[in-house]
Amino acid sequence: MGGESKWIGVRAVSESSIEMDFRYKGVRCRETFKLKPTAVNLKRVEQHRAAILFAIEQGTFDYRTTFPDSSRGLQFSEFKGEGYLLKVYLTTWLEGKERYLHSSTYDDYGKTVNNTLIPAFGHLTLAELRRLHVKDWCNKQTAGNKRLANVQSVLRSALQDAMSDDLIESNPLYGWTYKNMEAPDSEDAIDPFTADEQSLILAALKEPQYLNLIEFAFWTGLRTSELVALLWSDIDWVKGTVRVSKAKTQKAKEAEKPKTRRSVRDVKLLQPALDALKKQKCHSFLIGAPIFLNPLNNNQPWRGDRRIRENVWIPALKRAGVRYRNPYQTRHTYASMMLTAGESPIWLAGQMGHADTSMIFRRYGKWIQSKDDGAGTKAVKMFGKFDAWSGLSQGGS
């Protein structure tokens, strides 16, 4: 027998520990127990090993459950997220998204991941993260629902990819979004400019190109990122429309396709918008440049909305004495004007690039004309040509 151990698959490795040796899925595994290698303890570990071998034979052995502190457990886990720190996964996931996202979207994702998600949940593993963690975090925030939804959207997308890669069994945020019942107003709360305020703002724009840009914005409802990406080739002078097919944000090096398919659209050029274009022609039409240029930067194209806000918008509102609202309110102003005038919500949804009228009714419902003393008379005039009483009278004679 020589120096062979009388214990099968177990041995003393120090004065305070015992090692177990077995094979699982073709891999030799060694696990250490903090026990003095007495005969009693060696026998106990040997019996534990026998139970493990039986479970392996029966197909019921779970490495992570049997040895929860073992680093080898991850190797045999069906879902590797059990040992994958969320901060590591999110960093890797974000890097892989760069080539698929618009520059502005990728920048927003980066800020959300690095400034919010990793500080809040990065210490957890993928498998540990639960909906309750997100709910508890949201409960402590003072941000509005829009901000909270944006954060959750990024996390939900990352978790969905982790599930597709078999890192986790399910996505805890799938089909669920936390909402604060009393969230404060978001930054882009609808607060349109009145007709008088519009006149004051336009009158305060002494630079012709600034005036043309803002007047065009008021009468088309285009986003600032869409305005600065417009080319003269996007204008159909015969049909009187402008083709909106791209946008240029502060982070983008060049114009990019819109985030949604419905954002690509043909917008009808109402007379004030046409007038603004005609006045802008002398500044950029013949040089083959984007329609709207920055005269303070040698007539170079605008790079995004920040310079417009700082150099054009804020000074104009101060000179006009108009209460400040962000430039996006020109879009809300356009929508409110159209609906107040009785234009069709269906038509307006198409003009603004919305998939349907639900956004129009939800955001701009109070401007929709609901009272019309002449309602129904158009139908009578078009279809009510048959006089039933006259027909009866003629039939009885």
The 3-state secondary structure of 171-221 reads: CCCCCCCCCCCCCCCCCCCCCCCCHHHHHHHHHHCCCHHHHHHHHHHHCCC
What is the phi/psi pair of residue 28, to 5°?
Answer: -80, 125
Lowest mean pLDDT among 83-92, 153-162, 263-272: 83-92
Widest Cα–Cα separation across the chain: 132
- Find which of 71-75, 169-173, 182-186, 198-202 is predicted with most confidence, using mean pLDDT: 198-202
Tokens of 293: 């240029």
pLDDT at 3: 46
pLDDT tens profile 196-205:
999 999 999 9
Close Cβ partners of 124 (under 8 Å, ≥ 6 residues apart): 85, 86, 133
Distance CA 193, CA 220 (A): 14
Radius of gyration of the chain from Cα atoms? 34
Least confidently predicted of 182-191, 293-302, 369-378, 383-392: 383-392
In the structure encoding, which two tokens stand for residue 136, read together?
Answer: 């508890």
CA atoms within 13 A on the CB side of 190: 16
Tell me which H or E stretch contains 63: helix 63-66
- 195-367 and 83-164 share a CATH fold: no
Measured CA angle at 88 (ends 85, 93), to 5 deg: 120
Output the average pLDDT for the chain.
85
What pLDDT does 6 receive? 83
The second-level CATH assignment, the architecture, of 195-367 is Orthogonal Bundle (1.10)
Residue 397 pLDDT exceeds 50: no
CA dist 213 and 227 (Å) reads 8
- Indicate the SS3 state at residue 85: strand
- Compute the CA torsion angle 328, 330, 334, 339 (nearest 10 deg): 70
* Sign of the CA dihedral with 83 first, then 87, 92, and 93 last: positive
- How much of the chain is in helix, strand and coil states, percent to nearest 5? 50, 10, 40
Closest by CA position to 86, among listed 133, 128, 135, 149: 128
Q: Residue 259: what residue type? A: K
| Mean pLDDT within 203-227 | 94
The SS3 assignment for 300 reads strand
Answer yes or no: are the C-beta atoms of 269 and 241 closer than 8 Å: yes
Q: How far apart are CA 35 and CA 17, in angstroms?
A: 5
**Every domain of the chain and the residues it spans:** 10-76, 83-164, 195-367
DSSP state of 256: B
Q: What architecture is the 83-164 domain classified under in CATH?
A: Orthogonal Bundle (1.10)
- Three-state SS at 247: strand
| Predicted confidence (pLDDT) at residue 263 exceeds the cutoff of 90 | no
Distance CA 17, CA 38 (A): 10
